[in-house]
């Protein structure tokens, strides 16, 4: 690959596989950011080098803003466009369409989906419209409170822990742990 500017041609020549990756997030203060990176795998497939190209604040989360940010970060580091250095791209489902802009495969990483399901169930991830939650799950909140109370109970004394371990042995459970962030009734 040729370097057309200020990038690092030595890095690009030594590496054979280049995959662009990015992910966006919204912080608690409602500021939106996009982090951009690449993975470089050496020709002998002995090492995977992951490089963060940049993290930029976004004014919104439009397709064009994401593409522009990815290109800015890639060109700033390598002096070339994403199309020139990347053979593929991996993103979560929300970023799938951006791959078309770079003429790359539209592969998605589904690992976030499992986490989002868990966060939805525990009401850590909610959808709202006009500041009203539209996907509440009150049954699960009640169940989690009960599980938390049990964990608090069994973690309060050695005797209670031993009683629980006897039950675990009887039902042939492989492993059990009661880790709670705080031992109160909330």
Domain ranges of the chain: 9-109
Instruction: Give me the pLDDT at residue 185, please.
Output: 45
Q: Give the whole-angstrom CA distance, residue 10 versus residue 123.
A: 48
| Ranges under pLDDT 50 in the chain | 1-11, 13-16, 183-186
Instruction: Give me the pLDDT at residue 155, please.
Output: 80
**Cβ pair 81, 65 in contact under 8 A:** no
Nearest to 19 by CA among 47, 36, 39: 39
Q: Give the whole-angstrom CA distance, residue 77 versus residue 71.
A: 10
Instruction: Give me the pLDDT at residue 76, please.
Output: 92
**Cβ pair 26, 3 in contact under 8 A:** no
């Amino acid at each position: 690959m040729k370097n057309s500017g200020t990038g690092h041609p030595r890095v690009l020549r030594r590496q054979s596989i280049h995959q662009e990756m990015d992910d966006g997030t919204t912080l608690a203060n409602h500021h939106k950011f996009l982090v951009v990176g690449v993975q470089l795998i050496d020709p002998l497939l002995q090492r995977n080098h992951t490089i963060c190209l940049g993290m930029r604040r976004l004014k919104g989360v439009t397709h064009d803003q994401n593409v522009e940010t990815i290109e800015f970060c890639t060109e700033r580091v390598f002096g070339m466009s994403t199309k020139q250095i990347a053979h593929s791209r991996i993103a979560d489902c929300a970023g799938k369409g951006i791959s078309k802009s770079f003429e790359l495969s539209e592969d998605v990483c589904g690992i976030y989906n499992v986490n989002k399901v868990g966060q939805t169930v525990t009401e850590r991830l909610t959808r709202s419209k006009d500041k009203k939650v539209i996907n509440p799950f009150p049954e699960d909140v009640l169940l989690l409170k009960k599980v938390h109370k049990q964990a608090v109970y069994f973690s309060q004394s050695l005797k209670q822990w031993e009683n629980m371990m006897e039950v675990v042995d009887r039902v042939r459970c492989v492993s059990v742990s009661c880790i709670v962030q705080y031992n109160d009734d909330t």
